[in-house]
Each structure stands twice: as C-alpha cells, then as structure tokens.
C-alpha cells in the first residue's frame, strides 16, 4: 500500500518533540547566514547568489541524471540577474528554461502558486516537448495514456517498481488540494512545510516528467518565504545530490509507509542543516576572490590573464599548463608562457611540484 492509498491521505502527522531541537539549529543557522550576507555589501551578495544558484541548477539536474554545461548556466543566470561576468557565453534553450524556472521561484516566491505557473515551469524544463528521445506531455497534467506512472529500476524485463503514482484521472483533484494547502497553510513551521510539500508533490507525481526538479523548486520557494529574501545563499539540491542514494531510499520508504512522516522530516531537516553549513564555503570563496582583486588592484593584467585568473578563482578544473592556457585564451604557446611567467614574477602563480613531467601552475594564495 502506498501512502496516498491510506484512509486519511493527505493528513500527514509527525512527532514534533523529536524535531524541535533540529529545527532550532536550522532556524539559528538561517539567521546567521543572512546576517553575514547583510554585512558584505550588494556586489558580494550578488556574487554569492550567482554561485549558489549556479550550483543549485546544476545539482538539481544531476539528481535526475542530466548534466548541464556549468558555464552556460552561469552565463544565463548572469544575463537575467543583470550581472557582468568575464567570458560570458551563449546558453542553450534547455539551460535557459531551467534558469527561468529557478529565478521565477526565487524572485517571485511570495506570489501564489497556481496550476498555470506549474504548467509553465514544467514546459520550461522541456522546451522541445521531449524528454531525451521520447515525446512527452508538456504544460499539462499527465493523462495516463502510456500506462501507470511508475518509478522503476533494473533492466528491461526484470524491473523493480519502487513507486506507482496515483491514477491520472485523480491528479487534477489531488493538485487542487495541494495548491490550496500550499497557498493558505501558515500554521506549520516553515521548514516542515517545505519538507511536506516536497514529499506530497513528488508522491502525486502530476507530470509525465520533471516532477523531482519541480518538487525541489517548491522546496526552494517555501524556504525563500521562510527567509523572506529574494536572494539565495545555500543550495538544498547540492546537498541532496551528495546524498542521492539516501534521498531515494528515504523517499521510497516514506511513500510506502503510513501518514506519520517523522523520519522523512528528520532526514529533510538534517539535509537542510548540512546545506546551510556548506553556505560558509560559498561565502569564503566570494571573500577570497574579493581579497585577491583588492590586493592586486594596482597591478596591470592583460585580457588573457584576467580571463584565466577568473577561471582559477572560480575553481579551475584540472592542471594549468602553458598548452591549456594557450588553448583557452586562443594564443600561441610562447605568449602563454610569457603571460604565466609574468604572473609567477608577481607572486600570483607558482609551479606545482605535483604536476609530474610537464610543468603545471597553481594560484599562490595566502
């Protein structure tokens, strides 16, 4: 029996006493983070938000096995946030769609959630009307013509059914109840409401595809309401991605359990607490980058050096060599070597002894 087949669905219950300490830690850390962000000024807040939203979009897609281009996501976000960043590139329509959905979630968090708004989110995730090779219903509830909506794993002919969603003909009524609760319920702790909304939405599974990403978007929307802020400085999806296997296990167990969802809410709140703690990493990177450019504000750099230093400060992947420098900046190897040597002489780059045969370089930062 699935949870939606229980007699009192969707009247969830939970043990408040077992959650109260955890919720206290979450709310205290939320306040601390926004206090820190208030103190650093608009420019650095915007940089922190750009980093956070980029991670959030990349990771919520990765949970579903879809890997977006990080530079495209960052560029698409920067354009829509009115930010100027180095090396901005063109972004594909599928990237823009996810970005538009997430910005609508964050910037319009205080507006009502409606059927049409959900339809537009789901359509933005699948601008071609296809999920991979398959044509899907976009911008409307699933119709059930292709059979029951199931979450399965395993090879064809030997699948394991982890979950089967409610019948398609019940989706409209189920979502009407959900939307009324989402927009009007204000007696429940904000973190608990975000956790309940996530489980409830993904259990109804109203769309043919995109349910997981939209459930996580709804989580972000309710957390934004709790923070009462249009900027996001921590990423729940990044932490869920790290705990992906546990996420699916606790979700499956909850959907096959009864209406007491205490264990789900404990996991959800703990996951959020870890995500909040990780926000310090984003702030530290932003502050480190700010201190770097402030320290070398009087030094002269050419465009190639500025481009590569930005990449290094954004956590450059792989080893930096003259050939990689030349390829990225589209210059000759001799020019790349001169650029690098100039930065070595200024004490900004140093040789990396772990590089092996070829000479590698890394930032020399305090």
Which positions ≥6 away from 93 have C-beta within 8 Å?
127, 128
Output the domain CATH number for residue 333. Answer: 1.10.10.10
Same domain, 284 and 302: no
Q: Could you tell me if 283 and 348 lie in one domain?
A: no
Are 90 and 218 within one domain? Answer: yes
Residue 172 maps to a domain: yes
Same-domain pairing of 279 and 315 = no
The kind and range of the H/E element at 153 are: strand 150-153
Domain boundary at 240, 269, 288, which? 288
Output the pLDDT for position 52. Answer: 92
Pairwise CA distance, residues 260 & 262, whole Å: 6
- 217, part of any domain: yes
pLDDT attached to residue 317? 62
Residue 13's domain comprises 3-288
* End residue of a domain, out of 261, 288, 315: 288
- Shared domain for 349 and 266, answered yes or no, is no
Query: 96 in a domain, yes or no?
Result: yes
Shared domain check, 139 and 7: yes
Position 248 in a domain: yes
Residue 235, C-beta contacts closer than 8 angstroms, at least 6 positions apart: 52, 55, 56, 59, 275, 278
What pLDDT is stored for residue 357 in this prediction? Answer: 59
Task: Kindly state whether residues 315 and 202 are assigned to the same domain.
Answer: no
Read off the tokens for 44: 């650095």
Residues 87, 182 within the same domain: yes
How would DSSP label each residue in 259-325? SB-HHHHHHHHHHHHHHHHHHHHHHHHHHHHHHHHHHTTTS---HHHHHHHHHHHTT--S-B-HHHH
Residue 92: inside a domain: yes
Whether residue 54 lies inside any domain: the answer is yes
**Tell me, what's the pLDDT at 50?**
92
Please report, for the domain that includes residue 139, its CATH number.
1.10.3290.10
Q: Are residues 176 and 243 in the same domain?
A: yes
Q: Is residue 293 part of a domain?
A: no
DSSP code string of 51-100: HHHHHHHHHHHHHTT----HHHHHHHHHHHHT---TT-----HHHHHHHH
Residue 364 backbone class (left: φ over 0; alpha: ψ -120 to 50; beta: rest): beta
Same domain, 203 and 305: no
pLDDT at 170: 96
Evaluate whether residue 64 is within a structural domain.
yes
Final residue belonging to a domain, choices 244, 270, 288: 288
Q: Which of 101, 301, 305 is nearest to 214 (CA)?
A: 101
Domain identity same for 87 and 49: yes
Question: Cβ atoms within 10 A of the Cβ of 198, count?
Answer: 24
**Backbone phi, psi, residue 274, to 5°:** -65, -40
Question: Domain count of the chain?
Answer: 2
Per-residue confidence (pLDDT) for residue 275, from 0 to 100: 94
To which residue do tokens 């956070």 refer?
52
pLDDT along the chain (366 residues), means of 10: 95 96 94 83 86 94 93 95 86 95 96 97 94 89 86 78 92 97 94 97 96 96 90 92 95 96 97 91 80 85 90 76 92 94 92 71 78
The verdict on 121 and 257 lying in the same domain is yes
């Amino acid at each position: 029996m699935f949870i939606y087949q229980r007699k009192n669905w969707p009247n969830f219950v939970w043990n408040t006493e077992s959650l109260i300490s955890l919720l206290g830690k979450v709310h205290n850390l939320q306040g601390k983070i926004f206090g820190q962000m208030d103190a650093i000024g608009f420019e650095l807040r915007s940089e922190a938000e750009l980093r956070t939203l980029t991670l959030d979009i990349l990771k919520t897609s990765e949970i579903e096995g879809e890997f977006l281009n990080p530079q495209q996501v960052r560029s698409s976000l920067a354009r829509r946030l009115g930010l100027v960043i180095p090396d901005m590139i063109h972004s594909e329509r599928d990237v823009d769609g996810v970005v538009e959905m997430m910005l609508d979630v964050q910037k319009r968090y205080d507006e009502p959630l409606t059927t049409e708004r959900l339809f537009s989110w789901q359509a933005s995730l699948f601008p071609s009307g296809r999920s991979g090779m398959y044509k899907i219903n976009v911008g409307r509830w699933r119709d059930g013509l292709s059979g029951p909506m199931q979450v399965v794993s395993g090879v064809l002919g030997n699948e394991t059914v982890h979950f089967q969603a409610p019948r398609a003909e019940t989706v409209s009524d189920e979502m009407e109840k959900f939307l009324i609760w989402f927009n009007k319920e204000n007696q429940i702790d904000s973190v608990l409401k975000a956790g309940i909304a996530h489980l409830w939405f993904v259990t109804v599974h109203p769309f043919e595809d995109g349910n997981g990403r939209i459930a996580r978007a709804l989580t972000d929307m309710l957390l934004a309401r709790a923070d009462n802020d249009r900027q996001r400085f921590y990423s729940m999806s990044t932490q869920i991605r790290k705990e992906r296997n546990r996420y699916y296990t606790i979700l499956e167990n909850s959907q096959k359990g009864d209406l007491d969802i205490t264990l789900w809410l404990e996991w959800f709140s703990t996951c959020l607490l870890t995500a909040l703690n990780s926000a310090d990493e984003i702030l530290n990177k932003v502050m480190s980058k700010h201190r770097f450019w402030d320290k070398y504000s009087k030094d002269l750099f050419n465009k190639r050096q500025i481009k590569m230093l930005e990449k290094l400060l954004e956590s450059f992947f792989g080893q930096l060599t003259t050939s990689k420098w030349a390829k990225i900046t589209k210059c000759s190897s001799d020019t790349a070597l001169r650029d690098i040597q100039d930065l070595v002489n200024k004490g900004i780059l140093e040789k990396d002894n772990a590089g092996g045969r070829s000479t590698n370089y890394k930032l020399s930062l305090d």
